[in-house]
């Protein structure tokens, strides 16, 4: 089924635009498409160096 691949991609983007629950956060400086790397107690943008502390 060719459709499987399409569903996978679309659901990925749907989650991204819907909520930040369990999905990687995007960088507020670089904008959508640039995700923050997850560390033990913080999120770090590998592109601009932005750091966001976890709660």
**Site residues for Zn ion per CB under 5 A:** 27, 29-30, 45, 47-48, 50
Measured in whole angstroms, the distance separating CA 33 from the mean position of its chain's CA atoms is 7
1 CB neighbour count, 10 Å cutoff: 6
For Zn ion, the closer CB: 9 or 23: 23
Strands 31-38 and 26-27: antiparallel
Closest distance of CB 17 from Zn ion, Å: 19
Nearer Cβ to Zn ion (17/49): 49
Q: Which is nearer to Zn ion, 10 or 38 (CB)?
A: 38
């Amino acid at each position: 089924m060719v459709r499987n691949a399409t569903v996978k991609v679309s659901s990925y983007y749907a989650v991204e635009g819907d909520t930040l629950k369990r999905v990687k956060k995007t960088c507020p400086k670089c904008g959508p498409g640039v995700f923050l790397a997850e560390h033990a107690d913080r999120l770090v943008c590998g592109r601009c160096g932005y750091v966001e502390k976890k709660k």
